[in-house]
Structure 1
């Protein structure tokens, strides 16, 4: 089925000061998702004359045979709750995809993102207005560029051009991105977003605009160019690891990974589903036993890898071409919420989704000051299964704080990466 044959039916439930409001369904051509809400908001404005802020997606379903997607969205009138406070009756968990509300007074559920509460967008806009340089003012309403369980990105017009504001979920994996980006930008301007302001308590980061992402569909030669440049960038960050740790970067060193293997991986069981993970796709008994049996060999790989002498450096944690932009003859690496300090090769996630020998060669060439090419390739062979383990550990932290109705694409990821590990070892 081609893309133009799809259609998307959107149902909005609105939080109003006096209670909930359910709007008539709006149908749009194409296959649309809630995480990029602008076309959905524009369609609602045309059909119902309602300028809505999206709070969260309550439901996203599709039928590939009929080519129909159904979205149920929770929102609020943009002009409501300008004081930044939600109504007393409202709780995010009181709404569901059936259009019902059993609201009771009180706060949100565990795992609910701050942007899921009415008034949040007004509070953030006021914060930005107070954080802008002297003489710069906010000149219009904030636009939601991206919104999902893990983060929300706003574009806010100012008298000095657009400013992007990002907020990240409260996760044991995520760092104070503003503090980390400030360190990286001080040493490597032009290679990370330019921060304007950040609020650690509210997990807010205001940034100057940067060019669009390169994206997953980039040609293989671009993929190789990016990985070569990123390897050189990482190598240069080995001199600022103390500053990055002081800024709150998590630990992803080989000793840390060995500890995780000895505790977390060695205890995996098919009868114990990690918090937030999808039970239906969790490991079966044979898979869990295979993971536990693999731990001694993985610990040996960690020890052998450490002997190659590659320095700890900045690790992005979610490095792929949708988190990279081309600018001024180089690249901008963005979305540092998962940042850590650790072994550089743990960042080569992109090679799992897009195998590219030339890209691997370009990346390894950035490290020849530390070892000859044949030794670097040996080191990568040791590191490759460890990348899968590292990703599984990261997703365990991510899904542990999702709300019960959180993003369904994230919940199977622990098991998916562990199965990838078993495939690599087979």
Structure 2
């Protein structure tokens, strides 16, 4: 649990004289009763108890918190107000010491008799909600806040934010939305976390279009925040609204908002999915050169695939081969060789295809078929024939290989070459 704010000497002094605290909205407040409570005569502690509390305060002021607690625990007031007041201070001091079990116990005891002055009662009721949420007692915390709302009849966006967070922790995602909306509406300065809670809840509920709407709202409310732009671009990618995603991510890219490798990857994906694989390849390659995207096998393969989609065959082959070299990937060597064959770079294709076969590619038929053609177009008919015969061992290339064997034999015979 995160440490609760410590009570300063001034805060305790205010508490001793009847301090104030902020309020929140109520589920069903009785406003007439609330006004009566507010107008009621202020209670003060009896002289004996008051002196002891003052002495405890002096100890607290000397940073002798344990001694102050011990003195307060020795008190056993008969008056309900005095007893509630002492329990209230004990709850606060134990909270400061991060002994939350004791803090909750004494806070509950302070609340139970409903004997404190109005604002003090409101203060301690809210503290109970804070303590319960801080100790992951989320359901109890929500109830404490609701009781506080009923008692005060006031509104507080921050409390709604805590309630929304509690429902999220309880995985009651449907219940997150309403308090999150009230939290957003109830604070003067926009708080991004309230919007993000809504987004997270909508994703958990698989209401992706609603999540995107909140993402769009985030961009409107926090236009200078780089993360909300890149997050929205990611949302559009997940919901397959590629055109809008492309627009948002391009703006973020141009503004220099990218901070993570994944931002560049999302942009590359969106370029590719909006039929601009060449731009995807260019952006991706620049990011790799600039160190924004790590030069890994996976990333180089993605770059190669973008160039492949863009029909930039030579560049695609180059990056497939670079990726293949990282761990001797037979299939990537085969792809590089196949593309070099398409680019009519037959000698280079032979080298890569033989490497793929040497490393044990799973697609031997395709590799041998491409190898046969690469040899053939170099006039190496014996090697071409040997390769095309091996291609017939693979059912997926057998028919093609048989027809090509006939063609190779015919060409070799015409040139007077014996196979």
Q: So what's the TM-score if we normalise by structure 1?
A: 0.23
More helix per residue: 2
More strand per residue: 1
- Structure of greater relative contact order (alpha carbons < 8 Å, 6+ residues apart): 1
